[in-house]
Each structure stands twice: as structure tokens, then as C-alpha cells.
């Protein structure tokens, strides 16, 4: 049976959502929650809700967080038998504070364990990776490992850039990437084109296509996103949604892009499905919406 391999970060997230605007050096009322995140783990979770079979290749320490992460994945049906266990390292963790609108204001991440996801680890798992329909990787991986995947994979490689600082690892790898999902900052870094509006975003995605990426989905946040392939560019406006939190929308979008590829969808339909998945996610305070499903996305896209 076809499956998707997802690799990168899996974290325990402590998230704080204030109920009013915060002031520097003061505490304020709000909600504090503990949940499981990390770009790769969240993408894997979304893919499972969309009905895909998923193998998650990540790094886990020898602590209760690791065991809780593994249990959460197993309960969802996400395969973790190929995860790397590193008893001398802490499992990844993130502490984040949102603003009153639900956008991330500040975050501190402890993801040193991802440095153990080396080319040697991926060489040992190459059959698993190339046995997948496609591979989704985030840039929490070391630069050498991203280069190894780009060189050795025989299946499409989808990349979640995570941040502009980490996206720098992708310079030189663009011709080997099938699908790239940058935001404006990441697209500017990789394309050399300043992204300030829709027209400049169009120039940036065309430049990324010229540099060898087969498919680009450039997110412009609440304005929508541009999807591009070699001979086509599609503007996808953000759908109307009752926004509760934008955190997690990008991971849902990436999962939908991978899911649409497995379904053989064209670019326009892929963009619509991605927008639908993101809209469902931002209407929920959770990192991954429990209301996400293939049926819900198809219904929303239509």
C-alpha cells in the first residue's frame, strides 16, 4: 500500500494564548496548553486525518516526552518504527506565546536532537524512504541530511522550509525539490526577489521554478497564496474563515499539497484543496484540527 514518509522535527509544545494584548515584562490572563508538534509531526498528523498512510522518521530521546510522542503517533496510526532513539539527548520541545489574534509572537525551541538525523541515519532508512509515494521533509534536519535526501531519493521530495534562517540550507538543492512551500521571507531568501505584494510574489515563484523547483506554493498569510508549476501560476485567495488561531495552518497546507499529489490533482485543484485544509485548521485553536478529513476538505474546496 502506498504511504508517505515524513521526516524532521517532532516536539512537545507548551503554548500560551493570551486573552488580551500582552505588555512587555508583565504577565497576563490566557490559556496554557501542552500538545505535540514539530513541523514533521504535525504534517504527519494532518496526513493521517486526510486518510494517508504515514511513516514518521524523527528523533526521540529516552524520556517521558518521547514515550508520550510515540504513543500519540501510534494512536493516530502514524508509523514510528523507523524513528531514531537517542538516549543521551532530550526530546525536542518548544515554548511559544501567541498574540491576542492567535499568531505566534515569541517562541523558544530546543531541537538539538534533530542534529542526530544524519546522512548515515537516512542511508540506513533509504529503502523506507524510496518505498514511499513521496517524502516530506522539514528544514529542522541538518543541511548535510537535506542534501543527502535531495541526492539519493528516487521519489518526489516536498520541503517545508520552517523559517528563513533554516531555509538557507536549501540553497543549491532547488533543482531536486518537487514541491516547496515558502512564506514571503523564505521565498525572498531562496529566489533573491523581494516579496512585498502579489506581483513581486509572482516574480519570486517564477524565479524558483526557473531555478528548478517543480512546484511552489508561496503563502502570503491572510491574503492567500500563489501556486506555480512550470507552465502555470494560480492565485488562491484565502477562503473566508472564522479565525481562532493561525498556528498550524501551514502544516495543514503542506499535508494537503502532498495528499493532492497522491490523488493526481492538477495545480488549480491542489491549490483549492490546500486552502480548504488551512481554513479548517485556522477555525480551531488546536495545532491540528480534529475536524480535518478528506471529506471536509473536499466539501470546503467545492
Give the Cα separation of 127 and 77 in Å (integer): 21
The predicted pLDDT at position 40 comes to 98
Give the Cα separation of 230 and 214 in Å (integer): 6
The predicted pLDDT at position 238 comes to 83
26 domain residue, yes or no: no
Residue 158, classed as helix, strand or coil, is: strand
Give the Cα separation of 200 and 198 in Å (integer): 6
Q: Which residues contact 243 (CB under 8 A, 6 or more apart)?
A: 101, 102, 222, 282, 283
47 domain residue, yes or no: yes
The predicted pLDDT at position 100 comes to 84
Give the Cα separation of 94 and 113 in Å (integer): 13
74 domain residue, yes or no: yes
Cβ–Cβ under 8 Å, residues 50 and 61: no
The DSSP H or E segment spanning 22 is: none
Number of domains in the chain: 1
290 domain residue, yes or no: yes
Give the Cα separation of 91 and 111 in Å (integer): 8
144 domain residue, yes or no: yes
The series of mean pLDDT values per 10 residues for the chain, 302 residues long, is 94 90 88 92 98 98 93 97 94 90 84 97 98 98 98 98 96 97 97 94 96 96 91 89 84 98 96 96 92 96 90
25 domain residue, yes or no: no
270 domain residue, yes or no: yes
Give the Cα separation of 233 and 267 in Å (integer): 8
Q: Which residues contact 34 (CB under 8 A, 6 or more apart)?
A: 12, 13, 14, 15
C-alpha distances in Å from residue 32, one per residue of 13, 164, 229, 250 = 10, 27, 41, 22
103 domain residue, yes or no: yes
The predicted pLDDT at position 68 comes to 94
* CATH number assigned to the domain comprising residue 161: 3.40.1190.20
Global model pTM greater than 0.85: yes
Query: For residue 156, what are the domain limits?
Result: 5-20+31-301
The predicted pLDDT at position 228 comes to 96
Q: Which residues contact 165 (CB under 8 A, 6 or more apart)?
A: none
Amino acid at each position: 500500500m502506498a504511504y508517505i514518509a515524513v521526516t524532521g522535527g517532532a516536539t512537545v509544545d507548551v503554548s500560551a494564548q493570551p486573552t488580551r494584548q500582552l505588555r512587555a515584562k508583565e504577565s497576563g490572563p490566557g490559556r496554557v496548553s501542552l500538545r505535540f508538534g514539530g513541523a514533521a509531526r504535525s504534517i504527519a498528523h494532518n496526513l493521517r486525518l486526510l486518510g494517508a498512510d504515514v511513516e514518521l522518521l524523527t528523533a526521540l530521546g529516552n524520556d517521558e516526552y518521547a514515550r508520550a510522542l510515540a504513543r500519540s503517533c501510534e494512536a493516530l496510526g502514524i508509523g514510528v518504527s523507523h524513528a531514531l532513539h537517542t538516549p543521551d539527548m532530550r526530546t525536542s520541545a518548544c515554548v511559544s506565546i501567541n498574540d491576542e489574534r492567535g499568531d505566534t509572537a515569541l517562541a523558544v525551541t530546543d531541537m538539538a536532537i534533530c542534529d542526530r538525523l544524519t546522512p548515515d541515519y537516512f542511508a540506513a532508512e533509504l529503502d523506507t524512504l524510496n518505498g514511499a509515494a513521496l517524502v516530506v521533509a522539514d528544514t529542522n534536519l541538518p543541511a548535510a541530511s537535506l542534501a543527502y535526501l535531495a541526492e539519493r531519493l528516487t521519489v518526489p521530495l516536498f520541503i517545508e522550509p520552517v523559517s528563513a534562517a533554516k531555509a538557507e540550507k536549501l540553497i543549491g538543492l532547488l533543482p531536486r525539490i518537487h514541491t516547496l512551500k515558502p512564506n514571503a521571507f523564505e521565498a525572498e531568501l531562496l529566489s533573491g526577489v523581494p516579496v512585498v505584494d502579489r506581483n513581486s510574489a509572482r516574480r519570486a515563484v517564477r524565479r524558483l521554478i526557473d531555478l528548478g523547483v517543480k512546484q511552489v506554493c508561496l503563502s502570503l498569510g491572510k491574503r492567500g497564496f500563489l501556486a506555480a508549476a512550470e507552465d502555470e501560476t494560480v492565485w488562491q485567495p484565502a477562503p473566508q474563515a472564522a479565525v481562532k488561531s493561525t498556528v498550524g495552518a501551514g502544516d495543514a497546507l503542506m499535508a494537503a499539497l502532498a495528499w493532492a499529489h497522491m490523488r493526481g490533482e492538477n495545480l488549480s485543484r491542489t491549490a483549492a484543496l490546500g486552502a480548504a485544509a488551512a481554513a479548517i485548521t485556522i477555525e480551531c485553536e488546536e495545532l491540528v484540527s480534529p475536524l480535518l478529513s478528506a471529506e471536509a476538505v473536499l466539501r470546503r474546496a467545492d
